[in-house]
Amino acid sequence: MSDKQSQLKRSMSPAQIEMISLGGAIGVGLFMGSTSTIKWTGPSVILGYALVGILLYVIMRALGEMLYINPGTGSFADFATEYIHPMAGYLAKWANVFEYIVVGMSEVVAATEYLNYWWPKLPAWISGLVVIAFLTLANLASAKTYGTLEFYFAMIKVVTIILMIILGFLIILFGFGNGGHPTGFSNLWVHHGFFTGGIKGFFFAMSIIVGSYQGIELLGISAGEAKNPQKAVVKSVKSVIWRILIFYVGAIFVIV
């Protein structure tokens, strides 16, 4: 057994692996980023999220195949080294580091805005410091503890989105909270058509849409810590991408 594999604790359950990937992909991109994409593209944002979701399904299937064969790598970037070139793996790892530095700070900013909404008198730097401290402690914990924390935090996101989708359809179909007047589906075409911002706006928003799905690749990092890596990979790849597609496309649909 290699040194890398001997350091893995194999303490995460398949459910935790699924929720880490699911929770990683559902975040600021949906709760805050969708505001900009809807403004630029209008109803066609639904098509954008669906297209990117289909592309990611293909990528995740490929990643799942490689993880099934060699689930103990501990990083999807190792596949770039093994199947392409060591330089490809080197670049993938550093690109991932840079990505999470940027994304991590954006998550902190978003969390600060959420906290300041409920506690407006709380200084922003204190909110940010608390969030950074909590995230640091969570990442310093054992793999099992981290998996448990991610499981419950991801569950909060999932329940929130499910409730949002249900409430959205109640408003659309039955006029719940709108004086009993259903809003219907006319917003998909009445305001300057399906492509409100034109094709240019649609493709401009695609960069944010792609970034919204960031985090789904965590399956490739966390799979090595699963109790039964191959079983966890198969189950996660089959279920996670469909759930993300449903949550993203469903949530965006009711918002639009």
How does pLDDT run across 153-174, given as a tens digit for each residue?
888 888 888 898 899 899 888 8
Give the model's pLDDT for residue 253: 87
Give the model's pLDDT for residue 72: 62
Show the domain range for 215.
Answer: 8-85+143-255
Q: Which residues of the chain have pLDDT under 50?
A: 1-6
Give the model's pLDDT for residue 250: 86
Give the model's pLDDT for residue 8: 61
Q: Please check whether residue 49 lies inside any domain of the structure.
A: yes
Number of domains in the chain: 1
Q: Please check whether residue 91 lies inside any domain of the structure.
A: no
Cα 127 from chain centre: 23
Q: Please check whether residue 3 lies inside any domain of the structure.
A: no
Give the model's pLDDT for residue 74: 54
Asked if residue 129 lies in contact with residue 218, where contact means CB atoms within 8 angstroms, the answer is: no
Cα 182 from chain centre: 31
Q: What is the pTM of this model?
A: 0.79
Q: Please check whether residue 77 lies inside any domain of the structure.
A: yes
Asked if residue 216 lies in contact with residue 56, where contact means CB atoms within 8 angstroms, the answer is: yes
CA atoms 159, 161, 166, 171: torsion sign: positive
Any residues with CB less than 8 A from the CB of 229 and at least 6 apart, and which?
Answer: 10, 67, 71, 72, 223
Give the model's pLDDT for residue 2: 47
- Cα–Cα distance between 116 and 62 in angstroms, integer? 41
Q: Which two tokens stand for residue 198?
A: 């034109």
Q: Please check whether residue 72 lies inside any domain of the structure.
A: yes
Asked if residue 29 lies in contact with residue 48, where contact means CB atoms within 8 angstroms, the answer is: no
Q: Please check whether residue 79 lies inside any domain of the structure.
A: yes
Give the model's pLDDT for residue 62: 82
Q: Please check whether residue 113 lies inside any domain of the structure.
A: no
Q: Please check whether residue 119 lies inside any domain of the structure.
A: no
